[in-house]
Amino acid sequence: MDFMAHLVNSAETDDRNFIAIVNSVAHGIVNRSGAPNELWIIHIDNWFDHKWLRFSGTGRVDFAAVGDRIFTARVVFSGGKRKLNFPPFSPNRVLEQKLFVRTGDDYSEAPVHVRPHAAEKRPSETNLHVTLQEFSRSASFIWYSGNTLANGKGSVMVYSVVEDLLEAWFAAFTRQQGWRLSATKGINREHLEALLQTHAFNACEP
């Protein structure tokens, strides 16, 4: 579908060839079997690494009591195979959140009423109360890093939910005589490379 070529446009600090990779990922997701009803594209201000994959937030839990004193510990929470929470990016890192809705075999941009990431800063543990399944029963979310023109590296993270089926993966790319896939987590490297080749896009204009 020609529309998909313009799904993600490059900003001033984006490398257009990396944005072409993001478009390839999006195109692959919506053209596969079991394509989602909703597609979210979320632009993060800078590089993020694989540690964000399935990371849900941090909080404090009580673990011991001595007399009148209660001791707490800081705990890192992560989503399991049956539950995913949105990664708790700080609001000032989230540059844009765009929603595309499927109509027949095509997707069109739609108004956003409730966003995956709130505009105001919240305690990290509040993120644990919202799961992907509660937000949507059929959606894919693509987070991609900004500032790739200066950094020479980029990251893409994908979460998908269709009914009770969950998918979560991360991919890192580096610019070395062209953009190359440098690392993956949660997805087979050969599978992702095949997806990128099948749905390859040329660099788009900013």
Following DSSP, what letter does each residue of 15-76 receive, concatenated? Answer: -HHHHHHHHHHHHHHHTSTT--SEEEEEEESS---GGGTTEEEEEEEEEEEETTEEEEEEEE
CA distance 63 to 162: 37
**H and E: helices and strands count for the chain:** 4, 9
pLDDT tens digit string along 79-93? 555 688 899 999 999
> Domains of the chain: which residue ranges?
2-56+82-198
Sorting pLDDT into bands at 50, 70 and 90, what band is 71?
A: very low
* Alpha-helical regions (H) of 99-152: 132-135, 148-151
pLDDT at 63 over 80: no
pTM for the whole thing? 0.85
- Each residue's pLDDT tens digit, 154-164: 999 999 998 87
pLDDT the model gives residue 122: 73
Q: Which two tokens stand for residue 64?
A: 């011991």
